[in-house]
Amino acid sequence: MRLRVLTIIALLSLPAFGALASERFPPPDFTSHTLPTTDVPSPWPELFEYLDLAALTIGLALASYLAIVRRSRRGLFLLTIASLAWLGFWRGGCICPIGAIQNVTLALFDSAYTLPWTVAAVFALPLVFTLFFGRTFCAALCPLGAMQELVALRPIRIPTWLDHTLGLLAYIYLGAGVIFAATGAGFVICRYDPFVGFFRHSASANMLVLGGCFLVGGIFIGRPYCRYLCPYGAILGLLSKVSKWHVKIPPDQCIQCRLCEEACPYGAIQEPTVALPTPQRRRGRWRLAAALTACPLLVVLGVVLGQRLEIPLSQMHSTFRLAERVYLEKSGKIEGTTDASDAFRNTGQADDDLYREAFSLSGKFRRVGGWFGGWVGLVIGLKLIHLVIRRRRADYQPDRAACVSCGRCFWYCPSEQTQQKGGNSLNILDRASV
Amino acid sequence: MNEKQNQPGYPLAARIAVVAGTIAVVICALLLYDYTQRLVKDPLDSATFKTLVAALDQQPTNESLKEQIRSLDLQLRREYFRQRALTRVGAGLLLISVLICLAAAKTAATLHRRMPSPTARSAAYDREAAWTRTARWALAALCLTLVGTAITLSVGIQSEFQRDRDRLATTEPPVGTVAAAKTPPTEEQIGKMWASFRGPGGRGISAYMNVPQTWDVPSGKGVVWKTPVPLPGNNSPVVWGNRVFLTGADQRRREVYCFEIESGELIWRQTVPSTPQSTARPPKIMDDTGYAAPTAVTDGRHIFAIFANGDLAAFDFSGKPVWSKSFGIPENIYGHASSLAMYGNTLLVQLDQGSSEKSKSKIFALDSATGKIVWQIARPVPNSWSSPIVARHADHDQIITAADPWVIAYDAAEGSELWRAKCLETDIGPSPTFADGRVYVANDNSMLSAIRADGRGDVTATAILWQGEDGMPDTCSPLATEEFVFLLASYGTLTCYDAADGNVLWAEDFDEDFAASPSLVGNRLYLIGRTGKAWIVEPSREKCQRIGQADLGEECVTSPAFQDGRIYLRGKKHLFCLGI
Amino acid sequence: MAEKNQKLNRRAFVGDALRVAGAVGIVGTTAALAVRKKPSGKLVWQLDPNKCIACGNCATYCVLDESAVKCVHSFAMCGYCDLCTGYFRPEPISLDSGAENQLCPTGAIRRAFIEDPYYEYTIDQQLCIGCGKCVKGCSAFGNGSLYLQVQQDRCKNCNECAIAAACPSQAFCRVPLENPYLLKTQEQQG
């Protein structure tokens, strides 16, 4: 009864209410106004990637020719400048073969990631060329190497033992880059690339300072990144050891003047060895035996220690950090929330699912940490063996692994100067096969 | 070969290098200075601007203050873009000067090339052995450093999360909570709780027999605790585990409350997020309905609440907001009152609004974790105030809704209409109920209809088993068992029908107005009147046996929640826990 | 002498063969990885607007000074509201374009009157810095028609995107160059 009266009163005074929406506010129907379209800018065409690849291939061929056949330092230097300008400053120095290590690793371990074939080519091409011609990529193609070449104005000579020891850092960096890429924690090689900030004309302050330090350091230490840190350089060095052809100092006419040794800013020229007396040779054999036994022990030690690094390594991964944060907030051990933990809670995903994912990640890092530790152990063990084995050299020659084919030694060699001036064509290919 | 070869051009190259280098250093310093300035004083985040705007909020009509703010804003924005342009230009200049410097330095170095002068050496000295020996020691040192670093890292970096790993993996979830968030609570779990309006299935039937049969709050008898509820509301308490939930609202505020079940302590109260549109003006409601009429619903993981202005919110049990949604203020003449329901992982919202001619009614199913609409169906009905129930019949889980004129059942899993029956009229307040394969609906301007629930399509002609006319309620929902159907009219008459054929068995008058729907505990009915007086009766085929009486001491229009040995009841001002 | 030459030639041949095998191995493995699923062209970075929480990191973490992430407006989804919660700050003094009322710190959103009570909002890309304040306002209280996207003409396509690493909701992903945007469509409503 009462309701009926009220209904009539209410119906008579119906006000206009807010609209119900499946969107909150339904888009209006305009009669005379046309909606503008959402314009988004189109990307640079893929053509540029192919151009870069072509430039890289041509450059590699040219560099190999200039280094091994023509033996022209000037040619290599001009190619360096061209490469720095194009691949470095114009194309931003990305994607480079050094970073491509991580892309290839990610493609191996993450089935969700497809490796673009241009990236695969950028990774593989310098390796193939190095297998045949030595580290000509480093000589004139790599923009990072080019930057360091330009600033190597007053290089000091690093003692050989220090050079070799620091060179191991590159292998460790390679291992680290691979494991972080494989587990999806990120691309650390790209993150700490010192010169990419200059190539892109923009970077965070930290990266620019790092790059600046490398530049300033590079004035006095030749190619510091290439020799002691570059992970790709580590691989190239190994391949270059077994390359078919390599930059050589002409052995027939070597007069042992040692000018080239002084001239090489990177300490990559090895001097001839003296023969060892017999007692020292026997001691040398004992040393070799010791090194051979030490190597597997070092590997085992590395695996054990590497597995213990489970937590620090896991914390490099954002999912693990998120799980930690969510757990600490939930159990009240930490005050406040972060954007990430808020965003996680908004998704409505169960905490337990996140924890499970984080624990599986940390298990993965435990295994991967073991591999990394084993790799470092192996590298140190093999280096030890390498340091114990005697080599026999009769003349000055470039260290096949460390020589970046820059060609400075060509200019200083008096035999070379006479030969070239004298008109005898220097058939390097003949010599290289000896 | 020791004289320096001073080729022509060297002095020039050297000078250019020095000049370019100095320029580069100066530019670098300037850029660094500008960068630090940018960090310290971000023009887009100016404290002065903020204070001025806050001041303007206090005096909104101050025109000169507005002018000041606007000119300051223009200045700040100009500054920001100027800084950015300066950085760009500076970086370009730096690059050019560094390149010039390097080129000049390189040229100078080439022109100034010193011939290397190797020192004399004795030929017999075995340099290789010397440096390899040193290298081996250095290698050992490197090895030790690496081992030391590894040990420091593994010991120094601890993770409480990792340490508590075992505990996390094996902990039993606390009583009543649902273990894996993705799986909804089972029917058994829901049956033990009181998770929605009128309990499991919306039937008003208690799972526990040991609840008190009398209480007298004014004298303190039978009250375990009573807690004041901050804002009023007509919604009934919902219970899960050790938590009791209520909502409350007034013209401007909407809140959700969580009480601890043993002590009655208000553990948390949360404001419901709203939009400028839903709060632009208060919804028009009747005082009888209030702003928080719909009862909340929970699935053991979250608590969901909706209010008269269309704001819907989800919170987890610790009070953290999970998601919220605003449907806009519904066009509802008395105020939105339909309670929420749940099916599995979906939240069901019956949003009836509009008039018969221009109906805007819809029923929504939202994903309970995210609030995204899973499905929605338009309903050919005007505004109504009944709540949906979820019932199972013949392997179909049905959502049953009652409005004018249709009673519509939807397939809960698929979100499609199953059947509809035309048997109601005007303002529908009582919700449907379900028993023994039948749906029972009643309203004061219609009849009590018993509808078979296994139809398809329009079943008006075929599925209505019987109808009744006596004792029609306008607010209280019917209560049905296999044997009886009870109607409680607002003016105080309890009518009992035979569920099989619809014969009126008896009618009992109480000297009281009722707004709360009747509830069943075993074979006893609990009838709670508007003044707070309650009657506990034992109905039989022959008569209505009055067993006991109780007094809440406060007005009450809500339905009770029954748990083990306890009744939770909301009065006008308090939430009561009644028990021995 | 001939024997020694023979031995040297054989060793050289074996060495060459191994090198060629190694080269083929390198090229083959990387090629196999590349075409494992289907040949992929270039991949670029993009931001999934459904995961974005408008935290503001896009403006500060990009390696570029002027971030490559900017706001785009889906006009088909816009409600054209008088009180746009992406344009106005909460509780504006009045509904005009005064600096005291606007949410955007650089004034990149233009408000134009269409017909009563509808206003059109357009974004000036030169001024937008990608801070996401308008996105937050629009998605919390409005239709969500304003959202952030990586502008592919500005993005340097770093191998590791600094914003992607810093995104709290992991909203960044790699998308193929042919379809480099993840635009919101009306069907995604609700």
Classify residue A349: in a domain, yes or no: yes
With a cut of 90, say whether residue A232 has pLDDT above it: yes
d(CA A195, CA A174): 18
**A202 contacts in chain C (CB < 8 Å):** 63-65
Shared-domain flag, residues A221 and A301:
no
- Min Cα distance B509 → chain A (Å) is 19
CA torsion through residues A196, A197, A198, A199, sign: positive
List, as one string, the DSSP characters of B340-399.
Answer: PEEETTEEEEEE--B-SSSB--EEEEEETTT--EEEEEE-S--------EEEEETTEEEE
Could B66 and C190 be called an inter-chain contact, meaning their C-beta atoms sit closer than 8 Å? no
d(CA B533, CA B555): 8
Return the pLDDT at A12.
Answer: 40
Could A203 and C157 be called an inter-chain contact, meaning their C-beta atoms sit closer than 8 Å? no
- Phi, psi values for residue B433, rounded to 5°: -140, 170
With an 8 Å Cβ cutoff, is C11 touching chain A? Answer: no
Shared-domain flag, residues A184 and A266:
yes
**B373 contacts in chain C (CB < 8 Å):** 190
Shared-domain flag, residues A214 and A349:
no
ipTM of the complex: 0.87
Q: Taking the CB of residue B531, how many other CB atoms lie within 10 A of it?
A: 14
Classify residue A261: in a domain, yes or no: yes
- Token pair 């704001």: residue: B311
Angle, alpha carbons B480-B484-B488 (nearest 5°) = 65
Shared-domain flag, residues C26 and C55:
no
Q: Taking the CB of residue A216, how many other CB atoms lie within 10 A of it?
A: 11
Query: Which residues of chain C are modeled with pLDDT < 50?
Result: 187-190
**Token digits for B285?**
């409601």
For the CA atoms of chain B, what is the radius of gyration?
Answer: 38
Q: Which domain holds residue C23?
A: 1-36
Shared-domain flag, residues C137 and C70:
yes
Return the pLDDT at C38.
Answer: 61
Return the pLDDT at A312.
Answer: 92
Contacting C residues, span 70-89, partner chain B, CB-CB under 8 Å: 83, 85
List, as one string, the DSSP characters of A212-270.
Answer: HHHHHHHHHSSSHHHHHT-HHHHHHHHHHHT-SS-----STT-----HHHHH-TT--EE
- Closest-CA residue of B relative to C107 is B77
With an 8 Å Cβ cutoff, is B82 touching chain C? Answer: no
Shared-domain flag, residues A328 and A245:
no
Shared-domain flag, residues A360 and A399:
no
d(CA C177, CA C175): 6
Q: Which of B139, B154, B159 sits opposite A309 (nearest CB)?
A: B154
CA torsion through residues B239, B245, B251, B252, sign: negative
Return the pLDDT at C88.
Answer: 93
Shared-domain flag, residues C17 and C95:
no
Shared-domain flag, residues A266 and A374:
no
- Closest-CA residue of C relative to A38 is C74
Q: Is the preceding peptide bond at A398 cis, omega within 30 degrees of 0?
A: no
d(CA A131, CA C25): 12
Label the pairing between strands B561-563 and B566-570: antiparallel
The SS3 call for residue B557 is coil
Q: B360-386 b/e with 16+ CB inside 10 Å = b?
A: bbbbbbbebbebebeebeebebbbbbb
Return the pLDDT at A27.
Answer: 80
Residue B73, C-beta contacts closer than 8 angstroms, at least 6 positions apart:
B49, C99, C100, C107
With an 8 Å Cβ cutoff, is B29 touching chain A? Answer: no
Could C74 and A128 be called an inter-chain contact, meaning their C-beta atoms sit closer than 8 Å? no
Shared-domain flag, residues A374 and A404:
no
Return the pLDDT at C37.
Answer: 61
d(CA A157, CA A178): 31
Return the pLDDT at C1.
Answer: 60
Shared-domain flag, residues C60 and C1:
no
Could B56 and C100 be called an inter-chain contact, meaning their C-beta atoms sit closer than 8 Å? yes
Angle, alpha carbons A337-A339-A342 (nearest 5°) = 65
d(CA A232, CA A173): 10
Query: Which of A330, A319, A351 lies closest to B180, judged by CA?
Result: A351
Q: Which domain holds residue A338?
A: 286-388
d(CA C128, CA C107): 8
Return the pLDDT at B173.
Answer: 42
Shared-domain flag, residues A255 and A302:
no
Shared-domain flag, residues C155 and C107:
yes
Return the pLDDT at A2.
Answer: 46
d(CA A282, CA A271): 23
Shared-domain flag, residues A351 and A397:
no
Classify residue A280: in a domain, yes or no: no
Shared-domain flag, residues A358 and A216:
no
CA-based max dimension of chain C: 103
Classify residue A74: in a domain, yes or no: yes
Q: How confident is the model at residue A205 (pLDDT cuts 50, 70, 90)?
A: confident
- Our count of domains for chain A comes to 2
The SS3 call for residue B407 is strand
Classify residue A210: in a domain, yes or no: yes
> pLDDT digits over A88-132, tens only?
998 888 889 999 999 999 998 988 888 888 899 999 999 999 999
SS (HEC) of chain C: CHHHHHHHHHHHHHHHHHHHHHHHHHHHHHHHHHCCCCCCCCEEEEECCCCCCCCCHHHHHCCCCCCCEEEEECCCCCCCCCCCCCCECCCCCCCCCCCCCECCCCCCEEEEEEECCEEEEEECCCCCCCCCHHHHHHHHHCCCCEEEEECCCCCCCCCCCHHHHHCCCCCEEEEECCCCCCCCCHHHCC
Question: Hey, what amino acid is at A14?
Answer: L
d(CA A333, CA B336): 42
> pLDDT digits over C9-36, tens only?
888 888 888 888 888 988 888 888 777 6
Contacting A residues, span 247-306, partner chain C, CB-CB under 8 Å: none
**Token digits for B577?**
């826990």
Contacting B residues, span 174-203, partner chain A, CB-CB under 8 Å: 179-182
Classify residue A252: in a domain, yes or no: yes
Return the pLDDT at A251.
Answer: 62
Classify residue A276: in a domain, yes or no: no
A vs B: CB pairs below 8 A: 190
Shared-domain flag, residues A161 and A301:
no
With residue A404 as reference, give the H or E element that holds it. none
> pLDDT digits over A333-369, tens only?
888 888 898 888 888 777 888 888 888 898 999 999 9
d(CA A303, CA A291): 18
> How many helices and strands, by DSSP H and E, does chain A display?
22, 2
* DSSP designation for A333: S
Query: Which of C41, C70, C45, C156 lies closest to A44, judged by CA?
Result: C156
Classify residue A334: in a domain, yes or no: yes
Give chain A's end-to-end CA distance (angstroms, integer): 115
- Phi, psi values for residue A242, rounded to 5°: -110, 25
Counted residue by residue, chain B has a size of: 580
Return the pLDDT at A3.
Answer: 45
Residue B511, C-beta contacts closer than 8 angstroms, at least 6 positions apart:
B492
Return the pLDDT at B187.
Answer: 83
**B84 contacts in chain C (CB < 8 Å):** 65-66
List, as one string, the DSSP characters of B185-248.
Answer: PPHHHHHHSB-STTSGGG--B-S-S---S--BGGGTBTEEEEEE-SS---PPPEEETTEEEEEE
With an 8 Å Cβ cutoff, is A60 touching chain C? Answer: no
Shared-domain flag, residues A103 and A235:
yes
d(CA B332, CA A7): 11
- Closest-CA residue of A relative to C120 is A35
Q: How confident is the model at residue A16 (pLDDT cuts 50, 70, 90)?
A: very low
* DSSP designation for B472: -
> pLDDT digits over A399-418, tens only?
889 999 988 888 777 777 77
Could C168 and A338 be called an inter-chain contact, meaning their C-beta atoms sit closer than 8 Å? yes
Could A262 and B117 be called an inter-chain contact, meaning their C-beta atoms sit closer than 8 Å? yes
With an 8 Å Cβ cutoff, is C17 touching chain A? Answer: no
- Closest-CA residue of C relative to A321 is C168
A430 or B232: which leads in pLDDT = B232
Shared-domain flag, residues C56 and C130:
yes
- Our count of domains for chain C comes to 2
d(CA B572, CA B554): 6
Mean pLDDT by 10 residues, chain B (580 residues): 58 88 90 86 86 88 89 92 90 89 84 72 74 92 94 88 70 43 76 91 90 89 91 93 92 90 87 77 85 92 92 88 85 91 91 85 89 88 92 84 92 88 90 92 91 89 90 92 93 92 92 93 93 92 90 92 92 91
Shared-domain flag, residues C84 and C107:
yes
